[in-house]
Amino acid sequence: MILSPAERSYLYDSLSQKPPIRPGARSDHQFRPLEAKTSFLPNSNGSARIRLNDGSECMISVKSKVVVTKSVTNLIDVDIDVAGFRDDSNFVSNLKYNLTSLLITNFPSQYLKLTSKYSFKLFIDCIVISHSSYPLSLISLATYLALKTTRLPLLVSEVNDEEIEEQPTFSDDWDNAKYLDEAFEPPIFITLGVIGTNLLFDPSIEEEQVLENGLIVSFYKDNVITPISNINLATNSNNSNFKGLNQKLIIESINLCNKYCPAIIKALNTLTEQDDEGDDDHIF
Amino acid sequence: MISQRKRLSSGLSVTSKVFVRSRNGGALKIVREHYLRNDIPCYSKSCQHCHDIVKADAKGELPTFILSATPAKLNSQVGHYVVLDTNIILHCIDLLENIQCFYDVIIPQTVLEEVKNRSIPIYQRLRGLVKSEDKGFAVFHNEFNEHTYINRLKNESINDRNDRAIRKVASWYNTHLNENNSPEKIEIILLCNDRDNRTKAKAEGINALSLTEYIDLLPNAEDLRDLIPADSTLSNELSNKENETTFPEFYSEARILAGIRNGTLYQGILNISPYNILEGSVKVAAFKKPLLIVGSKNLNRGFSSDSVIVELLPKDKWREPSSTIIEETTLGANDNAEDADENGDDDISGTNGVVSDKERLLLAQEAIRATTAASEEKRLQPAAKIVGITRRSWRYYVGQIAPTSVVGEDSGNSSRSCFVVLMDKTLPKIRIRTRKAKEYLGQRIVVSVDAWPSNSRYPNGHFVRSLGEIESAEAETEALLLEHDVEYRPFAKNVLDCLPAEGDNWVVPDLINTDDAQLKKRVDLRDKLVCSIDPPNCVDIDDALHAKRLPNGNYEVGVHIADVTHFVKPNTALDQEGASRGTSVYLVDKRIDMLPMLLGTNLCSLKPYVDRFAFSVIWELDEDANIVNVKFMKSVIKSREAFSYERAQLRIDDKSQTDELTDSMRVLLKLSKKLKQQRLDAGALNLASPEVKVHMDSETSDPNEVEIKKLLETNSLVEEFMLLANISVARKIYDAYPQTAMLRRHASPPATNFELLNDILNARRPGMAISLESSKALADSLDRCEDPNDPYFNTLLRIMSTRCMMAAEYFPSGSYGYPEFRHYGLAVDIYTHFTSPIRRYCDVVAHRQLAGAIGYENLDLSHRDKNKMELIVKNINRRHRNAQFAGRASIEYYVGQVMRNNESVHEGYVIKCFVNGIVVLVPKFGIEGLIKLELLGDVNTADYDENKYELKFTDLNGKKRSVAVFDKVMVDVKSVKDEVSGKRKAQLLLK
């Protein structure tokens, strides 16, 4: 979407106000409304889908496989497919790199450990069916939901196979499958737009066009964690406002995220709980 | 996960099942959609509703209602149907087959599937019961019926869920019949031996009974009670009371799977030594030598030919194969109080705490080294212990009650346990409970094994039926047929229905005026001078021959084989019966046919003077018997004469006979000699086995004489041309069906098989050896091994070599590469069986494939599918082996009967030497027998030199003697009956 110079100027000025006036009448820390559904793919261990009002949609499936721990480099494998982009494009590789490294560094691998020799390996497959704004936080929130509802078959054989090797065997009852951990809250990414001294949560496609800079903040266990990176979100603009980033804003972004992200996590958790209680009607 | 049913259309709804499948250590979430119908009937003739809901199947046939409207009444004077639980079927299949009880039985699909997963043979017998329809067995597809399908509840084990499904079937039948649709009340009885399940069923208002309770309700309960198999709960009480030794528990499946994968555990078939019941061996691909398993703790409840998992023992436990003889009978003939101490029992299992996989791996590597190294440790064999049994080989066993185990006076009607000693010496005694032990003493009885709990010294079983008095010909014959798993029941009606309606009056139809396209393809060979040469009194004539000199100086030679496949069409009941029998079995006094008499002895048999259909192979051979040309055709022939070997020989030798037929036989003889020479030059083996023939008294059919089979030139005449036909056909069908052609191969023997024999030769006959580079080398080296003082030595060596050979086997051509098709014994590159379709199923398949290859008819799919062919060859290989064993056992039995009356002294040869005995072969009778040291002389003076295979001892007269392998000895042969096993054996005594 390309805005006219007049539109750009109007939007820029509105967003630079203190407090900013956002096109969707959102406050600065407010997300766009989203609709989500979990555990709907029958063959997956966990699954989630998030839709936004503008038609952006992302689907995640988590599958598991038993591996010999020593034989694999990491226990999480992420694959992202974005409609309209080649798999080897910079756009997709960046998304994939961000998400993979976030999960690998912050995923408690003891949840996946089966025995001293064997572990589960998780395969997280994302499909972004359509998107307007930068889809990383969309993917990340959907991944949160999918991992939160992921269940792994219950091991019934010996856990200690240090001395005498045993091949893992599992309970055949899917109802016995276990969630990763009740308390486990996977890490997420939050996208922030920088305009003047304002920080805007979850910028929409129109807002992205006039932003001076963008920040991607990671959040895990009630705290902002590294990496925090900046990004030019105004990719579609032919006349970018892009500027350098004020250090103070980084500090502020951390404060803001620490303040508001727990509410996001809480909302997502409520969502999974509600979905659990509901029946398994198909979404399609 | 709570899944819901959705109606798809009227009569069809869908639900889904979610479960986890563990396989090879992985865990897979599986989701299955499950479709439910409302048109599955209850199959009861008394139901007035289900006839309206049934729908026709794909063939347009409606299901038959099989449960009687007036079922058998119990004491309550109400008719009843029985719903069976899985365990009842698994344990009491004999009782279900009994014609005295179990009519109108409902088998829920859940149960059928569980039975299939647990035991394929029992499943097949159950399917047979359902199919035959005479006992009113109905399979009710409860899993697909809307009313009886149930979802698995949260935290419910699959067994509990299935039990609940079975109870649901019972309660559904009850409401379905009694509340709505049946004019008369029919009681539904759930039979179940699980007390917990019965309690639950009763709480749900179902009449649930245990098997014993049910049998007691029957009018003929008295006769049936003994047939109830040992209840597992009962045997537990029993063993607790008697406080027997415990066997080590088996490893968990998880541990076994991982162990096999990381190379610390091995899988193989257990083979118990026929001389020592406490010593078994397991052949494992990783080691060149079989692993030894010694002592009952290490054997850990393994039966001979079970598929077992073994673990290596520490190196200091490795040993040589024992040279001691231990038999079950000597082990605990009198043991009733269960206190016999066992020989060779190493108490290592379980006690040595934790051995890590790492140590086990080192051990395995050491074992590989030891079995390959040619050091002085050569004779040392790695020892192992059994840690798991993957598949039991349990079947029916024939044996007799050990008289010593029946003690005390009969205390009325209570059942007591006693031991059954089996005919197969490599198996342990079986404990059964019976009320009639005294009655069964001295009879051959059939028992079946139920379980072998780890706290019981002997396996528990139950009585099945009695075959009759020991040593009566009927009982012994039936016993040996059962022991070798030979199907000997008469052909079923549906099999006989496949035969031509004309029966014995069938004649070859008119070839010329016919519309039958296949008949038109037949070649009329009735003008050829065909004759057959067979053993005297042969009624199933498979093959006939003809020969003719051609104008160009070559010969036309034809082999004509009975055209069995004209009558046995694929996928008929007749074909299936033939395929499952696999081969005819020849006993001394009896023949068990593969195909019904009508075909074997009449319609297919190439009888003289009548027209018969044949499958012909016609060669053009040159003067040196090289093949110039070969043709295959379906034909019609008319045999001019059926000769016996002897008569044919006489006729050929009779110079005065100059008719065309005799001349053509002379041509055949001449060519056959050249063929034989060619074969021998190529390295065909001439091996020997001590074959004898038993003559029966023609009036009383008592055996009265034994003779060694004689071979005439005419024997080899027929044989050579049959070999030639088989080879030609093999090439043709391999050419046409490279993946599935039915072939026969004979692998070259591995050098290790001959190790012992060569070692003995080296020690006893220095300078002699058997070389193994090729079959030619082997044949030549056997020829060189002559003892000038003993003409029989060479034959003896051939007999012993035969035992070192691999067994020939059938296989579909896709299973091996071409170089491995080789038939070692015949020294040909490719071979099959084509010439005896009346008595071998392989030949039937070869016939069909050849007919397909020459474009006579299309080949059936089952002979073009590699997997199906694998199944066929697996069965016929087994049947073939069993038939051979049964034949030999029959001869052995009759030889024993002959000797019963004539005790005499004969020449024998020592073929094995042990620390405490020798094995002697008596060529005259083709028998071999063990002579124990006690009978030889003073046990204390015995000295066994294992390097020289020589046993020195002081005999009963105080003279010093020594016997060694290959020694010729005079033995006193008489027949004695072993009181414990009831087997008549040749008792040999050294003179």
Question: Tens digit of pLDDT for each residue in B304-330?
Answer: 888 999 998 887 777 776 666 666 555
Whether residue A233 lies inside any domain: the answer is yes
Chain A residues lying within 8 Å of B4, measured CB to CB = 279-280
- Tell me the average pLDDT across B631-660: 90
- Res. B870 pLDDT band, cuts 50 70 90: very high
Looking at residue B352, its pLDDT comes to 40
| Predicted ipTM of the assembly | 0.81
For residue A161, which of A111, A119, A120, A115 has the smallest C-alpha distance? A115
Q: B11 in helix, strand or coil?
A: coil
- Res. B369 pLDDT band, cuts 50 70 90: low
Which of A149, A169, A176, A282 is the best substitution to test chain B (most B C-beta atoms within 10 A)?
Answer: A169
Looking at residue B371, its pLDDT comes to 61
Q: Are strands A178-179 and A151-152 parallel, antiparallel or unpaired?
A: antiparallel
Q: How far is CA B206 from CA B82, B109, B114, B172, B186, in A?
A: 12, 19, 22, 10, 13
Looking at residue B943, its pLDDT comes to 80
Looking at residue B346, its pLDDT comes to 37
d(Cα B321, Cα A5) in Å, to the nearest integer?
97
Backbone dihedral region for residue B265 (phi beyond 0: left; psi -120 to 50: alpha; all else: beta): beta
- Res. B402 pLDDT band, cuts 50 70 90: confident
| A182: contact with B, CB 8 A cutoff | no
* pLDDT tens per residue across span B956-982: 777 888 888 888 888 888 777 766 666
How many other CB atoms are found less than 10 A from the CB of residue B155? 10
d(Cα B202, Cα B190) in Å, to the nearest integer?
10
Residue B949 · residue B959 · CB < 8 Å: no
- Is it the case that residue B24 has pLDDT exceeding 70? yes
- Res. B704 pLDDT band, cuts 50 70 90: low
Looking at residue B809, its pLDDT comes to 92
Shared-domain flag, residues A203 and A141: no
Average pLDDT along chain B:
82
- Is it the case that residue B955 has pLDDT exceeding 90? no
Shared-domain flag, residues A47 and A116: yes
- From B363's Cα to the closest Cα of chain A, the distance in A is 14
Residues 6 or more apart in contact with residue A256 via CB below 8 angstroms: A29, A192, A199, A201
DSSP string covering A40-67: --TTSSEEEEEEETTS-EEEEEEEEEEE
Shared-domain flag, residues A176 and A207: no
Q: Quote the tokens at residue B609.
A: 């003077």
Looking at residue B325, its pLDDT comes to 66
Q: Which residues pair with B968 in a beta bridge?
A: B909
Helices (H) and strands (E) in chain B, counts: 28, 38
Chain B residues lying within 8 Å of A38, measured CB to CB = none
- Is it the case that residue B354 has pLDDT exceeding 60? no
Looking at residue A276, its pLDDT comes to 63
- From B203's Cα to the closest Cα of chain A, the distance in A is 26
The residues on B that touch A, with CB distances below 8 Å, are: 1-4, 16, 18-22, 24-27, 29, 31, 152, 154-158, 252-255, 257-259, 261-262, 264, 354-357
Shared-domain flag, residues A113 and A207: no
Helices (H) and strands (E) in chain A, counts: 5, 11
Domain of residue A42, CATH code: 3.30.230.70
Chain B residues lying within 8 Å of A171, measured CB to CB = 20
Shared-domain flag, residues A179 and A103: yes
Q: Does A173 contact B152 at a Cβ distance shorter than 8 Å?
A: yes
Largest CA distance in chain B: 96
Shared-domain flag, residues A137 and A15: no
Dihedrals φ, ψ of B526, to 5°?
Answer: -70, -15
Backbone dihedral region for residue A71 (phi beyond 0: left; psi -120 to 50: alpha; all else: beta): alpha
- Tell me the average pLDDT across B436-441: 81
- Res. B350 pLDDT band, cuts 50 70 90: very low
Which residue stretches of B605-743 are H helix?
A: 645-653, 660-682, 713-736
H helix or E strand, kind and range, residue A227 = strand A223-231
Q: How far is CA A201 from CA A187, A257, A271, B204, in A?
A: 17, 9, 20, 61
Chain B residues lying within 8 Å of A175, measured CB to CB = 1, 152, 154-155
* pLDDT tens per residue across span B90-133: 888 888 888 888 889 999 999 999 999 888 878 888 988 888 77
Residues 6 or more apart in contact with residue A71 via CB below 8 angstroms: none
* pLDDT tens per residue across span B544-601: 999 999 999 899 999 999 999 999 999 888 998 899 899 999 888 888 899 998 888 8
Residues 6 or more apart in contact with residue B598 via CB below 8 angstroms: B499, B503, B504
Looking at residue A122, its pLDDT comes to 94
- Res. B339 pLDDT band, cuts 50 70 90: very low
Whether residue A247 lies inside any domain: the answer is yes
Domain count, chain A: 2
Looking at residue B82, its pLDDT comes to 92
| A176: contact with B, CB 8 A cutoff | yes
* pLDDT tens per residue across span B518-532: 888 899 999 999 999
- Is it the case that residue B162 has pLDDT exceeding 50? yes
Q: Does B29 contact A169 at a Cβ distance shorter than 8 Å?
A: no
Looking at residue B681, its pLDDT comes to 87
Looking at residue B351, its pLDDT comes to 37
- Res. B336 pLDDT band, cuts 50 70 90: very low
Shared-domain flag, residues A254 and A208: yes
d(Cα B83, Cα B170) in Å, to the nearest integer?
6
| A160: contact with B, CB 8 A cutoff | no
- Res. B832 pLDDT band, cuts 50 70 90: very high
Whether residue A283 lies inside any domain: the answer is no
CB < 8 Å & 24+ apart, contacts of A25-30: A28/A198, A28/A199, A28/A200, A28/A201, A29/A201, A29/A256, A29/A259, A29/A260, A30/A201, A30/A202
Q: Does A153 contact B257 at a Cβ distance shorter than 8 Å?
A: no
Q: Which residue numbers in chain A have pLDDT < 70?
A: 1, 236-239, 276-284
Shared-domain flag, residues A25 and A47: no
Looking at residue A100, its pLDDT comes to 94
- Which domains are seen in chain B, by residue range? 63-228 (3.40.50.1010), 235-470 (2.40.50.690), 493-741+826-886 (no CATH), 748-805 (no CATH), 903-990 (2.40.50.140)
Domain of A252 in residue numbering reads as 1-30+187-278
CA of A166: which chain B residue's CA is closest?
Answer: B255
Residue B152 · residue A176 · CB < 8 Å: no
* pLDDT tens per residue across span B199-243: 999 998 889 998 888 888 888 887 787 777 765 444 444 444 444
d(Cα B287, Cα B363) in Å, to the nearest integer?
12
Chain A residues lying within 8 Å of B18, measured CB to CB = 42, 174
Shared-domain flag, residues A195 and A172: no
- Tell me the average pLDDT across B653-675: 89
- Tell me the average pLDDT across B629-637: 94
Shared-domain flag, residues A142 and A249: no
Owner of token pair 């603009």 = A237
d(Cα A1, Cα B146) in Å, to the nearest integer?
56
For helices B573-581 and B866-901, what crossing angle results, to 10°? 60
Q: Does A153 contact B24 at a Cβ distance shorter than 8 Å?
A: no
How many other CB atoms are found less than 10 A from the CB of residue A79? 15
Shared-domain flag, residues A45 and A153: yes
**How many residues comprise chain B?**
991
- Is it the case that residue B278 has pLDDT exceeding 70? yes
Average pLDDT along chain A:
89
Q: Which residues pair with B26 in a beta bridge?
A: B23
From the number of C-beta atoms within 10 Å of its C-beta (0-12, 13-18, 19+), residue B517 rates as: exposed
Dihedrals φ, ψ of B191, to 5°?
Answer: -100, 125
Shared-domain flag, residues A260 and A191: yes
d(Cα B497, Cα B505) in Å, to the nearest integer?
16
d(Cα B110, Cα B728) in Å, to the nearest integer?
51
Q: Which of the pair, A32 or B950, is modelled with greater confidence?
A: A32
Q: Which residues pair with B585 in a beta bridge?
A: B592
Whether residue A284 lies inside any domain: the answer is no
